[in-house]
A and B are shown apart, each in its own frame.
Chain A
Amino acid sequence: MRTIAEDLPGHPFFAGLDSDALALLAGCAVNMHARPGEYLFREGEPADSFFVIREGRVALEMRLPTGAAVLDTAEQGEVLGWSWLVPPYRWTFDGRAVDHVRAVRFDGGCLREKCAADPDLGYAFLQRIVQVMSQRLHSARVRLLDLYGAS
Chain B
Amino acid sequence: MNAALATSSQRVVVEDPMVPRSFVVTRTRQDTRDTATLWLTAMDGAPLAFEPGQFTMLQAYGVGEVPVSISGDPADDGVLQHTIRDVGSVSHALATAETGARLGVRGPFGVGWDVGTARGRDVVIVAGGIGLAPLRPAVLEICANRAAYGEVTLLYGARTPAERLFTDELPRWAAEHGVAVHVTVDRSDDSWRGPVGLVTGLVDRVVFRPELATVLVCGPEVMMRHTAAAFLDRGVAPADVRVSMERNMKCGIGLCGHCQLRELFICQDGPVLGYGLVASLLTQAEL
Residues of A within 8 A of B130 (CB): 148
Evaluate contact between A57 and B195: CB separation under 8 angstroms. yes
A104 contacts partner chain B, Cβ-Cβ < 8 Å: no
Q: Which of A60-77 contact B (CB under 8 A)?
A: 67, 69-73, 75, 77
A72 to B198, CA, bound (A): 9
B260 contacts partner chain A, Cβ-Cβ < 8 Å: no
With contacts A67-B190, A70-B188, A142-B226 taken as known, whether A148 is within 8 angstroms of B129 at the C-beta atoms is yes
A135 contacts partner chain B, Cβ-Cβ < 8 Å: yes
B201 contacts partner chain A, Cβ-Cβ < 8 Å: yes
Q: Which of B212-266 contact A (CB under 8 A)?
A: 219-220, 222-223, 226
Residues of A within 8 A of B226 (CB): 142
Q: Which one, B51-59, B138-146, B155-163, is touching chain A?
A: B155-163
B128 contacts partner chain A, Cβ-Cβ < 8 Å: yes
Evaluate contact between A143 and B186: CB separation under 8 angstroms. yes
Please report the total number of B residues contacting A with Cβ < 8 Å. Answer: 30
B193 contacts partner chain A, Cβ-Cβ < 8 Å: yes
Evaluate contact between A145 and B188: CB separation under 8 angstroms. no
Residues of A within 8 A of B129 (CB): 147-148
Evaluate contact between B223 and A147: CB separation under 8 angstroms. yes
Q: How large is the interface on A (under 10, 10 to 19, 20 to 34, 35 or more residues)?
A: 20 to 34
Evaluate contact between A73 and B222: CB separation under 8 angstroms. no
B114 contacts partner chain A, Cβ-Cβ < 8 Å: no
Secondary structure of the A contact surface, majority rule: mixed
Evaluate contact between B193 and A99: CB separation under 8 angstroms. yes
Closest 7 CB pairs of A and B: A148-B129, A70-B188, A148-B159, A147-B220, A139-B198, A73-B196, A73-B195
B87 contacts partner chain A, Cβ-Cβ < 8 Å: yes
Evaluate contact between B87 and A151: CB separation under 8 angstroms. yes
Evaluate contact between B198 and A143: CB separation under 8 angstroms. yes
Residues of A within 8 A of B201 (CB): 135, 139
B16 contacts partner chain A, Cβ-Cβ < 8 Å: no
With contacts A147-B128, A148-B128, A149-B159 taken as known, whether A72 is within 8 angstroms of B196 at the C-beta atoms is yes
B210 contacts partner chain A, Cβ-Cβ < 8 Å: no
Q: Which of B143-190 contact A (CB under 8 A)?
A: 157-159, 163, 186-188, 190
Evaluate contact between B222 and A145: CB separation under 8 angstroms. yes
Report 28 cross-chain contacts, Cβ distance below 8 Å, ordered by A residue.
Answer: A57-B195, A59-B188, A67-B190, A69-B187, A70-B188, A70-B196, A71-B196, A72-B196, A72-B197, A73-B197, A75-B195, A99-B193, A135-B201, A139-B201, A142-B198, A143-B187, A146-B159, A147-B128, A147-B129, A147-B220, A147-B222, A148-B128, A148-B159, A148-B163, A148-B219, A148-B220, A150-B34, A150-B85
